[in-house]
Homo-oligomer: A and B are copies of this chain.
Amino acid sequence: MDTVIHDRYVSRTERQAGMVVREEPVVYNEGTYADALSAEQLSAYQDKGFLVLEELFSPQEVKKLLAEVKALGERDDLQNRPELVTEPDSQELRSLFSVHQFSTMFERLMQDPRLVNVARQILGSEVYVHQSRVNYKPGFDGDEFYWHSDFETWHVEDGMPEMRALSCSVLLTDNDACNGPLMLIPGSHRTFLVCPGETPENHHERSLKKQEFGVPDPLSLTLLVEEYGGIEALEAKAGSVVLFDSNAMHGSAGNISPWPRVNAYFVYNSVENKLETPKYGLEPRPEYLAHRKNTQTIQPKPFQDN
């Protein structure tokens, strides 16, 4: 694809809101590259743009990972690093980006065949990690995440060429209707929503707190929801994994329950879809938000041996 002459996924320019039909496959090479998922699972992912793998990790594994999140939050050497996002009102960990570089345990989780082989199968190639993080969303925290397509951001701000990446959220606490679960619009991954408004410089410094650009318009969202039949709120137990396509429209309401929501989050990208230059003369975002240098192919290696 010649991005200079023709960018199918123009967004945040002088163009107004619009809807572009996806051309790329959802499951590449018909899912023959690896054999982690069944034909039924692949077909569900293809149709909806997401899939929940219930309790893929054991309670023991979840317990170890939660203890590691706690330990990471207390590590002195991370306190002033840009990868660590703390609560506005305290020094508590909210997100730690590039977590696989700071924690051997999370590096091994990222390499676990239960995740990597799913990514390899869906993306039809070897994969590397575009972004990794742990999120610790405390209870009583009202912050919502409005609807967005990750690909819209990755395409515009990171120069990711095509929709050949997926997100993998490993739930480390239960998610239900009461603590602001992830909501997805089934089928939305087949349509790219052009977002109105231009992206300012250093947008990312603000966007980690609140999304202001790359926000889809209400009419297009309504059409997506009506076209594809609704919204699914994902309720799943700790240890479950939610996979979703890079262009799946998703968001979450705030969490006013007392229960924190903790997850580990890995974005696997095809090695054939590595980043190009960002659009519209934007500076590349920092390495920990979008790996450009650190893009080693991931070799599957079981987490349990850790």
Which A positions have Cβ atoms within 8 angstroms of B? 139-140, 142, 144, 146-147, 176-178, 180-181, 183, 218, 221-222, 225-226, 230-233, 235, 251-258
Contacts and interface: CB of A to CB of B under 8 A. Distances in A.
A258 B142 contact: no
A256 B225 contact: no
B257 A225 contact: yes
A227 to B, nearest CB: 12
Residue among A144, A147, A180 with most chain B CB within 10 A: A144
Contact of A178 (B146, B218, B233, B257): B233
Contacts of A176: 233
A137 B286 CA distance: 39
A14 to B, nearest CB: 24
Contact of A253 (B180, B222, B226, B232): B180
Contacts of A256: 144, 146-147, 183, 251-253
A232 B179 CA distance: 11
Nearest to A146: B256
A257 B177 CA distance: 14
Contacts of A183: 178, 256-257
A208 to B, nearest CB: 18
A146 B139 contact: no
A254 B177 contact: no
A140 B224 CA distance: 14
A177 B233 contact: yes
Nearest to A183: B178
A140 B254 CA distance: 13
B178 A144 contact: no
A218 B253 contact: no
A279 to B, nearest CB: 26
A235 to B, nearest CB: 7
A221 B251 contact: no
A226 B258 CA distance: 9
Contacts of A221: 140, 258
A180 B252 CA distance: 10
The 10 closest A-B pairs by CB, nearest first: A177-B177, A177-B233, A253-B253, A222-B258, A178-B231, A178-B233, A253-B254, A142-B144, A140-B218, A225-B258
Nearest to A255: B253
A147 B177 CA distance: 16
11 contacts: A139-B222, A142-B254, A144-B144, A147-B256, A176-B233, A177-B233, A178-B232, A178-B233, A221-B258, A226-B258, A252-B256
